[in-house]
Every structure is written in structure tokens, then in C-alpha cells.
Amino acid sequence: MNLSDMGYDLTGKTALVTGSSRGIGKAIALGLAQCGASVAVHYVGHSDEAQAVADQIPNSCIVQGDLLDDDAPRKILTQVREQLGEIDILVLNASMQFRQAWDEVTREKFDQQVIANFRSEFEMIQLAAPQMIQNKWGRILTIGSVQQHRPHSAMIPYAATKSAQETMVRALAKEFAPHGVTINNLAPGVILTDRNTEALSNEDYRQKVMDMIPMSRGGEARECVPAALLLCSNAGSYITGIDLIVDGGMRLP
């Protein structure tokens, strides 16, 4: 049985993946494209990276928007609609993260994480979901973190925004379910992307982190893709309001 037979065929669907010029977002964007979706690749400051991803997708576009800007959600969705049409699949992957001791977190850094990781996502859902509801089909996927379950003491605001995100998903799932729209959260663990490169370059810290993971290794971005495809396609049509964790067991006590 091929993926299309199992409900993974996304031909005719349009997806927006925020923060998809690299890392997990890039991997998910390419995975959606392999299933036939048209994909909008979102970036903040590196159009060349976004274009390199879009060049690998037959029907795609790149869209720019800094999630800290008040009008970013509307601006991003408008760009997608002008180039690819209405959005059927919304993957909210972009986020901000700062490593700081709890007593060194400034109001500026706190607010930036709340705005980028939570407020902008809520507003993008407000803008995208009504059309999905009207069409009686839609998929919304937020990308959370294992820190919902094991918060890092040097990333408390980040962990808190991810927990807030998952609460939002559970609340909206009940609102959207009668209309054929699902919303779920995918929570990766330690994924070996650019974001973690510097911290894991310290061998002592790296070993400490790996000791917390039963599989004793970090994950690859591609290992998040099958879970994302399940939750963004008809294969996951009876799944909504869940927190699907891809973490090598790190959340376990």
C-alpha cells in the first residue's frame, strides 16, 4: 500500500509552514511537497535559504514576515493567498528561544518569546481557520517542545509559551472538530538543528543532555516528518487536540 492509498495524498492542498527555510520547518515543508501539496516557505531574514527550499518544491512560493511585527500574521497570509490561494494546511513552526538564567530574563526578551511563540500563532489561526471551516477541511499543526514536559531552567519563558500553545490546541480542537478541521501539537525533543549546534558543541553539556534521552542520541529533523504528515493529511482525519511527542523518550521520568 502506498502513501496515497493511506490518505497521505495532499494533491490540490496548499500549505504554509512558518520558519521553513531550515531545520524542522524545512523538513516538514519538503515532506508536504512530496505528498503533493503546494507549499509557502516562510522566512524572516534569509531569502536565499528560503528560495533554496522552494526550488525543491514544484509549486511553491516564499513569504517574508517577522513575527514580532504587529501586522506579520496578516501580511504573511496575504502573501500566500496572492501567490498560491487559500491555505488548507497551517504549520506553525517558527519560534524564538533565548538561553538565560531565570533572574536575567529581561522584559524585552520575555515579550519577544510570548509574541513570536504564542500571540502570532493565535492570530494566524484566527485569520486562516475561517476559510478552512467554510471548506469543511483544514489541518493546523503547532510545533511545540519536549520542554512542555521537562522545562529547561535556562529557558523558562520559552517552555511556558510552548505549554500555552498546547493548551490553545486542546481548546480549539473542540471548536473546530464539527467543521472537519483538526488542530494538533507536535512536540520534538532535542533535534540536531542549527538552534542546538552551539550548546551541544560543549562536550560536557552534550553528554549531560544525551544522558537524559533513553535513546542516547539527538533526533534528526527528518524524524519529525512522518508525525507531521499524519497530522496534516487525511491519514489523521480522526485525530485532533493531541500532543504527539517525538523525543526519543526524553520526557519520561
* Amino acid letter, residue 186: L
Q: Are strands 60-64 and 138-143 parallel, antiparallel or unpaired?
A: unpaired
Gap between the Cα atoms of 99 and 151, Å rounded:
12
Grid coordinates given for 184: 494538533
- Which one is catalytic: 8, 43, 158, 238? 158
DSSP-assigned beta bridge partners for residue 184: 141
Grid coordinates given for 19: 520558519
Residue (of 11, 47, 37) closest to 20 by Cα position: 47
Gap between the Cα atoms of 18 and 32, Å rounded:
13
Q: Is 158 a catalytic residue?
A: yes
Is residue 67 within 8 A of residue 42, CB to CB? The reply is no
Gap between the Cα atoms of 161 and 96, Å rounded:
10
Grid coordinates given for 179: 467543521
DSSP-assigned beta bridge partners for residue 191: 219
Q: Which residues are catalytic?
A: 158
